[in-house]
């Protein structure tokens, strides 16, 4: 049985390498392909990152990782991501200690690590005698890699009789059914159960939400922007469904090459309950060569664009546009920008659309407006989440997607909220409601901070003006 069939070994290696979605494909096995450098290089050269691992007759399982492909270059490869490890008897990583000569890529050697060789499996050709290859392997750990208090004896058992030496290609894999353990979510939240009780708790928080000055700013304005079909209108419909307790579709949704939403809509959430003190502002989808551009977006952010404004992809918004709000106040501006991103198609988002989203983020930042991301269609990203949305904070695939988007847009990862909109459901589900409400709670919280800061600034300005008047008089 290949050594890395052991799931615990795989899990540990993924953690050490730092990517939860890695797979290990067997490239080379000394037992199968021959125990010599040529056989190893013929199977492993130009195969990208690899893990090499051996099991010896003393029962030690040891090896090394390199992120750079073997090529039989005859020289040292300076790979600052390489490391050595022991998987049995203990799980220990030996990281680089700062000295160079990380990986030795000699055509006549097996996988070899470190100057003077912190780990060498073979530099000759061997046949099995009994169950083992009696090799010339050795370890002088501590040259290039940290010893962690280990020595050749405790690292390899000072044993060079290998049952097998194997090398695996380390590849990006699909972890659809890989969930973190129950008590180890990738994000810590206060959602301990996914029942109506939790939903009601967050719902009540949002119902009693108010801006720092309801007289000056009756409601926080949360702007939804994103590419065509990202799920902006569906997010609004989902929020409305939560309020109604029934699946509702007020805003038109669907799939079309061009944006289905063509009007700017500032939606208040109406339902059997009090209208909450936030508004969702739905916009037209961003497209590569048409749709909202940066100037249009500045007008939207600054509160110049009236509710029901009819976007015209071919005509830019100007001060002469119908209904243009000439002198908007703090109540009219956007208080939180939410980029709505389809998790299932993010990888193929056209670069121009991504650039537009980045430009909007920059516009918002320039105005100190907080930026969040609502990551939609998580059911299409991870099938475990499709079956049971309550495992969302345990899904490695969702974690990875959140990280990818947080990195790509420079947005802190706890501002990226994975959600699942209602689309074909006929009845509400507390698990979907909780995700939606949780996202809204974060967005309204940030909007509150923004409004507070703006009010402080305005107060300061008034104070300065007053003191100027006092000085004059
Ligand atoms: N599976 C799944 N489908 C979704 C989700 N959210 C939205 N959809 C579907 O995606 C499609 C597009 O959604 P919309 O809400 O119309 O997207 P939009 O961003 O408003 O698009 P435009 O207004 O055209 O720019 C619809 O068919 C929705 O049913 C989700 O979380 N999961
Ligand atoms: Mg829409």
Which residue puts its alpha carbon closest to atom 32 of ligand 1?
377
420 lines ligand 1 (CB under 6 A): yes
User: How far is the C-alpha of 305 from the C-alpha of 116, rounded, in Å?
Assistant: 69
- The answer to whether residue 175 scores a pLDDT higher than 70 is no
Q: Verify whether ligand 1 is closer than 6 Å to residue 228 (CB atom).
A: yes
Q: Write down the mean pLDDT value for the chain.
A: 92
Q: Residue with the nearest Cα to atom 16 of ligand 1? A: 253
Which 3 state secondary structure label does DSSP give 238? helix
* Domain boundary assignment for the chain: 3-172, 196-464
d(CA 63, CA 168): 11
Give the pLDDT score at 249. Answer: 80
pLDDT tens track for 116-135: 999 999 999 999 999 999 99
Provide, rounded to the nearest whole percent, the portion of the chain with pLDDT above 70: 98
Tell me the pTM: 0.68
What was the pLDDT predicted at 188? 92
Give the integer Cα–Cα distance in Å for 365 and 297. Answer: 13
Residue 472: which pLDDT band, with cuts at 50, 70 and 90? low
- Residues 122-154, buried b or exposed e (16+ Cβ, 10 A)? bbeebeeeeebbebebbbbbbbbbbebebebeb
**pLDDT given at position 18:** 87
User: Is the peptide bond between 89 and the residue preceding it cis, with omega within 30 degrees of 0?
Assistant: yes
Q: What's the pLDDT score for residue 471? A: 64
Cβ–ligand 1 distance for 224 under 6 Å, the answer: no
Taking the C-alpha atoms of residue 111 and residue 133, their distance in angstroms, rounded to an integer, is: 15
* Nearest ligand atom owner, CA of 247: 1
pLDDT of residue 142: 95
At 52 the pLDDT is 98
The pLDDT score that the predictor gives to residue 15 is 92
pLDDT of residue 276: 92
Would you state the CATH architecture of domain 196-464?
3-Layer(aba) Sandwich (3.40)
Is the minimum distance from the CB of 343 to ligand 1 under 6 angstroms?
A: no
Q: Which of 223, 228, 229 to mutate to test the pocket of ligand 1 (most atoms within 8 A of CB)?
A: 229
Q: For residues 138 and 158, give the distance between their C-alpha atoms in angstroms, rounded to a whole number.
A: 7
The residue ranking higher by pLDDT, 368 or 313, is 368
Pairing assessment for the beta strands 336-342 and 220-226 based on DSSP bridges: parallel
pLDDT in tens, 285-303: 888 877 788 889 999 999 9
pLDDT-based confidence at residue 192 (cuts at 50, 70, 90): confident
Is pLDDT at 254 greater than 90 in this prediction? no
Q: Above 80 in pLDDT, residue 257?
A: no
pLDDT surpassing 70 at residue 107: yes
In this prediction, residue 232 carries a pLDDT of: 94
- What stretches of 245-350 show up as alpha helix (H) in DSSP? 294-301
Which residues line ion ligand 2, judged by CB < 5 Å? 232-233, 260-261
- Asked if the model's pLDDT at residue 221 lies above 80, the reply is yes
Q: Is 226 in the pocket of ligand 1 (CB under 6 A)?
A: yes
What ranges make up the beta strands (E) of 102-174?
103-105, 112-113, 119-120, 128-129, 132-134, 161-172
Which of 159-163, 175-179, 336-340 is predicted least confidently?
175-179
| Closest residue by Cα to residue 306 from 323, 331, 330 | 323
Which of 12-26, 417-431, 459-473 is predicted least confidently? 459-473
pLDDT tens-place string over residues 59-95? 999 999 999 999 999 999 999 999 999 999 999 999 9
Q: What gap in Å lies between CA 359 and CA 286, rounded to an integer?
A: 12
Q: What pLDDT is attached to residue 291?
A: 73
- Give the model's pLDDT for residue 174: 64
Please work out whether the CB of residue 229 comes within 6 Å of at least one atom of ligand 1: yes
In tens, the pLDDT along 262-275 reads: 899 999 998 766 78
Ligand nearest to the CA of 374: 1
Answer whether residue 177 shows pLDDT above 60: no
Ligand 1 atom at shortest distance from the alpha carbon of 261: 23
CA of 280 to the centre of ligand 2 (A): 12
Residues 19 and 149 sit within 8 Å (Cβ to Cβ): no
Q: Supply the pLDDT for residue 201.
A: 96
Confidence at 19, pLDDT banded by 50, 70, 90: confident
Q: Check if 49 has its Cβ closer than 6 Å to any atom of ligand 1.
A: no
pLDDT at 473: 60
- Residue whose CA lies nearest to ligand 1 atom number 21: 229
Cα 283 to averaged position of ligand 2 atoms, centre (Å): 7
In angstroms, what is the span from residue 308 Cα to ligand 2's centroid?
Answer: 13
Range in 147-151, 266-270, 332-336 with the lowest mean pLDDT:
266-270
Cα 394 to averaged position of ligand 1 atoms, centre (Å):
24
């Amino acid at each position: 049985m290949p050594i890395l069939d052991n799931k615990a070994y795989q899990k540990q290696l993924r953690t050490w390498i730092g990517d939860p979605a890695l797979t290990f494909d067997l490239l080379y096995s000394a037992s199968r392909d021959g125990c010599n450098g040529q056989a190893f290089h013929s199977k492993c050269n130009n195969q990208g990152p690899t893990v090499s691992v051996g099991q010896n007759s003393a029962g030690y399982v040891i090896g090394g990782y390199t992120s750079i492909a073997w090529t039989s270059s005859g020289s040292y490869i300076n790979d600052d991501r390489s490391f050595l490890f022991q998987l049995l008897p203990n799980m220990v990583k030996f990281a680089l200690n700062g000295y160079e000569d990380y990986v030795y890529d000699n055509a006549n050697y097996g996988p070899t690590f470190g100057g003077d060789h912190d780990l060498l499996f073979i530099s000759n050709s061997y046949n099995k005698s009994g169950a083992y290859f009696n090799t010339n392997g050795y370890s002088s750990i501590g040259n290039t890699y940290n010893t962690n208090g280990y020595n050749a004896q405790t690292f390899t058992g000072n044993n060079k009789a290998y049952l097998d030496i194997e090398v695996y290609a380390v590849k990006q894999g699909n972890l659809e059914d890989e969930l973190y353990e129950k008590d180890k979510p990738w994000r810590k939240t206060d959602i301990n159960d996914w029942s109506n009780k939790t939903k009601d708790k967050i719902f009540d928080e949002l119902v009693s939400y108010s801006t720092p000055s309801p007289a000056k700013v009756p409601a926080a304005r949360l702007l939804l922007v994103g590419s065509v079909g990202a799920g902006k209108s569906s997010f609004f419909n989902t929020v409305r469904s939560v309020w109604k307790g029934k699946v509702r579709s007020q805003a038109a949704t669907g799939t079309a090459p061009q944006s289905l939403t063509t009007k700017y809509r500032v939606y208040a959430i109406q339902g059997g309950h009090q209208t909450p003190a936030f508004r969702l502002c739905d916009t037209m989808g961003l497209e590569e060569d048409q749709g909202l551009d940066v100037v249009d977006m500045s007008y939207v952010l600054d509160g110049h664009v009236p509710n029901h404004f009819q976007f015209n992809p071919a005509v830019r918004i100007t001060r002469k546009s119908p209904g243009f709000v000439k002198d908007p106040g703090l109540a009219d501006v956007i208080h939180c920008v939410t980029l709505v991103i389809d998790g299932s198609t993010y990888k193929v988002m056209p670069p121009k659309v991504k650039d537009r989203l980045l430009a909007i983020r920059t516009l918002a930042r320039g105005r100190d407006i907080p930026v969040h991301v609502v990551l939609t269609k998580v059911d299409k990203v991870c099938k475990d989440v499709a079956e049971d949305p309550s495992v969302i904070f345990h899904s490695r695939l969702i974690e990875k997607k959140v990280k990818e988007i947080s990195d790509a847009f420079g947005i802190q990862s706890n501002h990226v909220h994975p959600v699942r909109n209602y689309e074909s459901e006929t009845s509400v589900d507390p698990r979907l409601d909780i995700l939606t409400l949780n996202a809204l709670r974060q967005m309204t919280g940030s909007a509150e901070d923004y409004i507070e800061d703006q009010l402080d600034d305005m107060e300061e300005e008034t104070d300065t003006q007053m003191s100027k008047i006092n000085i004059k008089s």
